[in-house]
Structure 1
């Protein structure tokens, strides 16, 4: 059977641009994974890994104009947005190089023997080792920062794990271009280029997660696709960790006092967050609780004006456009749902933004409107009008897990007055990142960041953004009563590598 070609498609027209590659066969996936497995030794030295990440960042910056041109042609995200995304991408590489240099990611702990302890304590020394080859499933909506050169790749390489990326079909040319840049970086610092490889095709993605030499996987995409791969990872003879980001509603609660104090600001901020990137951010606020009454009316009025003024945009591919239009139609047809600004087809290849509205009581009463509590990918949100804080509590109790949850409060509430603290307590179990008086779009790359959340937002408790994302690709091992000469350098008393450690429970 002839191999299936992989085409780059222009989402602005729906036309094929160029043939980029061929879908990988199961045999080809096997060859790529085995080559990556054999290349693990070239990532053993932490200094080499840090040099690789910095070289990758530098070369991506140098190739920036070509990378941005390719990504825009395949995603229609625009040079401005992609310039920022490339800067974020290279910043991630440099940030993980700093994580390697600093060394605390190894979580080194040394407990000297204490025969007087109960029970007696032997000499124990613990640190973390790389898992092995990591499968990365690229995201559609971030062709750089969550794709071939994205955070999963950067963090896995930082941990010492080679990476095989299953490229997203929406940006195959960008994927190949970025892979070539990473290969040049590897060659520049003397690392086997097989530490980063790319495969294409649905079947290749399935074969990848099932390969016995794949030690872990990272995924960003849909609930349906991610859950299928998660189940496959768990069903293997030797199950592996699967860190999947699947979908998120990202609820927002606007208090009555906040609406009364700054309705225009809240309405405008909500509109900007919902329409940013044509609503294609995983942290887009897709569900908003606002008070019934004058304050809520003012928020909705400003939201209506701002969304109505937004321009139609192109989604990442025509399949997503079809799903968006169908999802909006299905939701708008539910009993009691109003459509103040109709989201839909802005043109042959574009979509227009909008929002739906209904009384929160309908969501609290029965399951007929449960569809409104599921993510609809694109520039749309649902505004539910509540009559009491009890109603807020009931609706929040029915929400699934999320990446983010946001609370909009007044100045007095921010100072501790009213029910804001209680509302924050209700939102905290729902999400991995909780915001007050902000908007969730925009995920800073920082040591304290957490980008994850309860299922179905993610399939694990780990973060995919920030320095601690490296923890996904490591496993702890403890050495007991092991002679000094046989210990890894990281665990020797002399600390020849100068690494941060905890000794007998104290920093040392």
Structure 2
């Protein structure tokens, strides 16, 4: 199926063109514009939310089985269009076909994983405390509770994963699985790609007999459209993947609303790598090769790219610089990201404490060579010197080695860090006091800790934690990857002394879905036997 579009935005299944400012779709490989798009306006935000509110009433009548079926149909519709949208995404992102083929699989896989989660039903976290009329001094009521849908969710697509974190990426899948309508603010770097995903969900909604207002795609550049979307009183939560500045701006807008709402923002990370002395001695070359591949992977445009490497003084930095210099340059996602990287590298070059071992400013910013810098731990930690300057993420193929005189200095560097998505430790002696101390420092500063590996790559599974303490993300307990992400977009209702036939099926005595429930403080799948008077 090859869909031809005349317009770029969609509200409740209807395509239209915005009436706001124009912006361009850009091909970073050719460094030229390939399309002109009109931004949506506040009027479009209002229309999308009106449709979403109406759809929410109908979505609340859908069973878990029906929502699961819709999600499976959605994955099928995405796969049916991949032959058309992969070439478009290659042009808009500079990403290779193999990478986008894999990302299509991940996108559909995570949607189907949410479908399985919803169909099984235990995600509702049903909890039942049965009545005890004989309790003294007052009788105990029957109280039951479970997760329910929250309401219209605003989703901001990311630049670096145009499918898996794009229009129908993880945030959208999680919100839809919980039974919420979504309004997607398409990323301005790939508006043409976003249209195919909008068409896929429109097809799925129609085939599953779901309300078309369940989904709207609003395209736009600048900050005004996103700000108006988050300000809208019918929006109940926000999913965002992007920069710290962008995420923090949305958090501030949401906090100032008459009804403050959560912004689940994943905003960046330097993903420190700590190499313990015995690992440094036994396998420096292998570690250097692995780090080089991790730093250069995807042209460094992964949120888990290793941006800080902490180790004792050694030959590792030179080894790593050598392997990095052999990496084939990739393509930056857009000129704005390329310019930001060049600006950050220029700042480091002007810092006398920082030494470049390879890379640096590029004559071709859209295809930069990987950069490796180094600094002494004493300078990194120097009183009066802004550690934040060295701990700021450079989004691109760049990393900073902190050379330490002792493991005590390594621990001091760890203690100085703010929140991160990941931290990696290379170690062989798992009983050492230094390792134990390092783990104690990293746990409260990190969402995920890896051993003897490299941080790039995120497994999409129930146990994944893709989030971390601020500024890596806005809520350290929340994840934007894996089926646990559904918990961000739910509310919780309690039902006290309800007649059994009026309760949601997940809370009824017979447990017709057979889900795991907490009954009187014990997990069980069994039915509840209620004695009749």
Q: Does 1:403 align with 2:421?
A: yes
Query: 1:284 corresponds to which residue?
Result: 305
- Offset of residue 49 of structure 1: 1.2
User: Displacement of 1:282 after TM fit?
Assistant: 0.4
Aligned equivalent of 2:442: 427
Aligned residue number for residue 163 of structure 1: 182
Answering whether residue 372 of structure 2 is matched by residue 355 of structure 1, we say: yes
Distance 1:490 1:117 in 2: 30
What is the TM-score when the length of structure 1 is the normalising length? 0.95
Q: Aligned equivalents of 2:273 and 2:23: distance in 1?
A: 40
Which portions of structure 1, spanning 4 or more consecutive aligned residues, are displaced by more than 6 angstroms?
none
Deviation at 1:107, TM superposition (A): 0.2
Contact 2:241/2:265 (<8 A) preserved: yes
Cα distance in 2, alignment partners of residues 244 and 113 from structure 1: 41
Structure 1 residue 82: deviation in Å? Answer: 0.9
* 1:113-150 per-position Cα deviation (integer Å, ceiling 9, x unaligned): 23437886321101011100000011111110001010
SS in 1 for 2:68: helix
> 1:104 deviation in Å?
1.1
TM-score when scaled to structure 2?
0.91
Give the 3-state SS of the residue equivalent to 1:449 in structure 2.
coil
Residue number in structure 1 paired with 2:266: 245
Map 1:368-387 to 2 at 5 A: 368-370=385-387, 371-387=389-405
Gap change, CA 1:2 and 1:171, over 3 Å in 2: closer
**Counterpart pick for 2:241 among 220, 223, 228:** 220
SS, match of residue 141 in structure 1:
coil
Shift, 1:176, TM fit: 1.1
Structure 2 CA distance for aligned equivalents of residues 156 and 3 of structure 1 = 28
Residue 73 (structure 1) aligns with: 91
Q: Shift in Å at residue 420 of structure 1?
A: 2.1
Q: Within 1, Cα distance between the matches of 2:280 and 2:361?
A: 28
Deviation at 1:188?
1.2
Cα distance in 2, alignment partners of residues 344 and 399 from structure 1: 26
Report whether the alignment pairs 1:482 with 2:498: yes
For residues 118 and 88 of structure 1, the distance between their equivalents in structure 2, rounded to whole angstroms, comes to: 56
Matched residue SS, 2:481: coil
Give the corresponding residue for 2:193: 174
What SS is found at the alignment partner of 2:472?
Answer: coil
Contact 2:121–2:513 (CA under 8 A) maintained in structure 1: no
2:351 is matched with which residue? 334
**Any conservation in 2 of the 1:344–1:353 contact (CA below 8 Å)?**
no
Distance 1:18 1:224 in 2: 27
Distance 1:100 1:480 in 2: 25
Work out whether residues 310 and 404 of structure 2, in 8 Å CA contact, stay in contact via their aligned partners in 1: yes
CA distance in 2, matches of 1:273, 1:132: 39
The alpha-carbon deviation at position 68 of structure 1 amounts to 1.2
Please tell me the root mean square deviation across aligned C-alpha atoms, in Å.
1.6
Preserved CA contact (<8 Å) 2:19 2:38? no
Contact persistence 2:19–2:39 (CA under 8 A):
no
1:209 partnered with 2:230: yes
Inter-partner Cα distance in structure 2 for 1:484 and 1:45: 18
Partner of 1:321: 338
Q: Matches of 1:110 and 1:129 in 2, distance apart?
A: 15
2:478 equivalent to 1:459: no
Q: In the alignment, which residue of structure 1 is the partner of 2:172? A: 153
**CA distance change for structure 1 residues 373 and 440 in 2, over 3 Å: closer, same or farther?**
same
Q: Counterpart in 1 of 2:409?
A: 391
Residue of structure 2 in register with 1:129 after alignment: 148
